[in-house]
Amino acid sequence: MFNKIGLLKIIEEQRKEIQSQKTGLPRSALETLPNLQTHAAIISGVRRCGKSTLLLQRLKKEKSKSLYLGFDDIRLTDFDSQDLILLGNIIKDGKYKTLFLDEPQIVDKWEVFVKSQLEYGVKVFATGSNASLLSRELGTRLTGRHITKELFPFSYKEFIRFKKMKAQAASFQKYIDMGGFPEYLATQRIDVLTHLFSDVLYRDIIVRHGVRDGATLKKIAVYLMANVANMVSANRLQEPFGTNSNTILEYLSYFEDTYLINLVPKFSYSMKMQNRHPKKIYVIDSALQKAASASFTKDYGRLLENAVYWHLRRKSEEIYYFNENNRECDFVLCQNGAPAELVQVCYDFNRETMEREQKGLKEAMDFFKINNAKIITYNQDDMYIQDRKKIMLIPAWKYMA
């Protein structure tokens, strides 16, 4: 257990450290971050995507008396639930009105502590790197008292602001090559990404979930990173990795919980049918994929599709692919369960690809009775109408800017 003097010293030293830090590029998420006294604002996302920086940006905007505590500090390794009582007393004695907690998940019953602070009228902002764990802990103790805001690596719009570039095909190509992790963009050191990949696997998955066969888990992770925008299923992975499907399903859920990948299901009104079909793999960042994968794809069509997915993912979690009669549409974006937007991705829309892309998109438009759809290209801009259905060709750099 900590004593009051020791904990106050750590809080003061962290305060001085964060005050000296630059806040970096103002994130787009800053404007939509909840600012409520009745609800905790939780920032969730993959490691090193800028959650702590966003917390710092919000802290420096806060006008009330605030206390910050970052738990990714070796001095707080043994911090436990009893020490939360001490922290609560420090908040009360210091008359702090806003509390900023960076990665408090290492502390048992942290969500109970957050709830108590809300009841005392203290605003709370916190970060977390594991979607499922956050959902489970907050859903149990903070039901109706928290709002989660997901943060991802830089969007294309943030990337060009950071790099001071114009929205055009050339800068979008740079975005595909360099990804959106702020620290990597600032340093250009590939080891930033390789260490990030290792930390996610080891600290967020192997240690947290007690995975015994870490070597196989890593092999599967590398395989997934190398197969961006391809189909995957637990059954297909059993033989090559010598692991049963239940274990593979667990691994896949761990990868998704840490935001390393997202798996997109085939659209169906039946959940059972969704689960029967393979899912498509999308990797959190193209530069991380390059660093983590032994066989980085040079297929820019798949990397473009990956970038479009994460652009859509910022708008909604309800994303599916469509496949009927062997005709596919890359993305069906839903709002409140209803299909709202159809998006096809084609790097180079030419005579060879035109028929396939049109047929897949038209099949989806007929199925959903939607008369407007988009084909996202690398750098082609056009519009055509077929059978009273309007299809827009939009360059990715225009679509995402």
Q: Which residues contact 378 (CB under 8 A, 6 or more apart)?
A: 169, 172, 300, 304, 347, 348, 395, 396
Tell me the C-alpha distance between 15 and 96, whole Å: 14
> CATH code at 146?
3.40.50.300
**Residues 283 and 237 reside in one and the same domain:** yes
Instruction: Please give the structure tokens belonging to residue 70.
Output: 């970052």
pLDDT at 84: 97
Q: Which DSSP category does 202 fall into?
A: I
Number of domains comprising the chain: 2
The residues that bridge with 333 in the sheet, in sequence order, are 319, 341
Q: Are 98 and 60 in contact (CB under 8 A)?
A: no
- DSSP for 357-396, please give it: HHHHHHHHHHHHT--EEEEEESS--EEEEETTEEEEEEEH
Q: Which of 276, 281, 206 is nearest to 235 (CA)?
A: 276
If you search the block for the tokens 């928290």, which residue do you land on? 146
The amino acid that residue 3 corresponds to is N
**Of 95, 121, 150, the domain-final residue:** 150
**Residues 72 and 172 reside in one and the same domain:** no
Tell me the C-alpha distance between 177 and 183, whole Å: 15
pLDDT at 352: 85
| Phi then psi dihedrals of residue 132, to 5 deg | -70, -45
Q: Which of 59, 61, 82 is nearest to 70 (CA)?
A: 59
Give the orientation angle of helix 245-257 with respect to helix 131-141, to 10 degrees. Answer: 80
**Residues 76 and 144 reside in one and the same domain:** yes
**Residues 264 and 164 reside in one and the same domain:** yes
Residue 23 lies in domain: 4-150
If DSSP codes are grouped into helix, strand and coil, which group holds residue 210? Answer: coil
**Of 128, 150, 172, the domain-final residue:** 150
pLDDT at 142: 79
**Residues 69 and 188 reside in one and the same domain:** no
**Residues 200 and 55 reside in one and the same domain:** no
**E strands, 214-354, in order:** 231-232, 261-264, 279-283, 319-324, 327-335, 338-345
**Residues 272 and 394 reside in one and the same domain:** yes
The residues that bridge with 327 in the sheet, in sequence order, are 324
**Of 105, 122, 150, the domain-final residue:** 150
All residue ranges of the chain with pLDDT < 70 are: 131-137, 294-298
* pTM score, whole prediction: 0.95
**Residues 93 and 127 reside in one and the same domain:** yes
